[in-house]
Amino acid sequence: MTKLRTLALALALVLAAALGLTASATAETTPDMRITKVNYNAVGTDTMANRNAEVVRIENKSTDPVDLTDGWKLRDKWGHTYTFADAAVKAVPAGGAVEVYTGAGTNATAGNVTKLFWNLPFHVWNNSGDWAKLWDSTGGSGADYVSWDAYLISG
């Protein structure tokens, strides 16, 4: 039994080391921008007045600023796409964040957080199930992804 535990521990350490090397290589090629919050369900009935209760927060977890205006996009399951090219933020500083609100407002930066407004005349994020995907400037498989149904959020 002790040999089996030792072998299992050794295998776990080898796998952890291999996964760590893979994660490091990925982090060098793709900026570490992460969706850290999705408020997809405005309190009460969805109305024009509460569209800005829907918000997606994206944080720069890397040690360098990330320029979002070179092709970054935020998209839902149904194809609604926010393109950062016209945004008020040129770069998200290391440790900074950007929040994308569904409704109307004036883009503004306070400290290291920039609030951007999609200016849509409807709610985007479906309460009963949807996903938010952040696409990087390469247009590849995406930088981050969060999905939910009516009861569970994952990502």
- pLDDT at residue 145 is higher than 50: yes
Q: φ and ψ at 66, to 5 degrees?
A: -125, 125
User: How far separated are the first and last CA of the chain, in Å rounded?
Assistant: 37
3-state secondary structure (DSSP) of residue 14: helix
Structure tokens at 128: 């009963």
3-state secondary structure of 127: coil
Q: Which has the closest alpha carbon to 46: 119, 100, 123?
A: 123
Q: Give pLDDT, residue 114.
A: 93
- Compute the distance between CA of residue 103 and CA of residue 89 in angstroms, rounded to an integer: 18
pLDDT tens digits, one per residue of 120-139: 999 999 999 999 999 987 87
pLDDT in the model for residue 71: 84
Amino acid 126 reads N
Predicted pLDDT of residue 1: 43
Average per-residue pLDDT in the chain?
Answer: 80
Q: What is the pLDDT of residue 6?
A: 35
43-47, 97-101, 139-143: least confidently modelled range = 139-143
Q: Is 95 left (phi over 0), alpha (psi -120 to 50) or beta?
A: left
Q: How far is CA 78 from the centre of its chain?
A: 17
Per-residue pLDDT tens over the stretch 27-53: 334 568 999 999 999 998 899 999 999
Average pLDDT over residues 78-98: 87
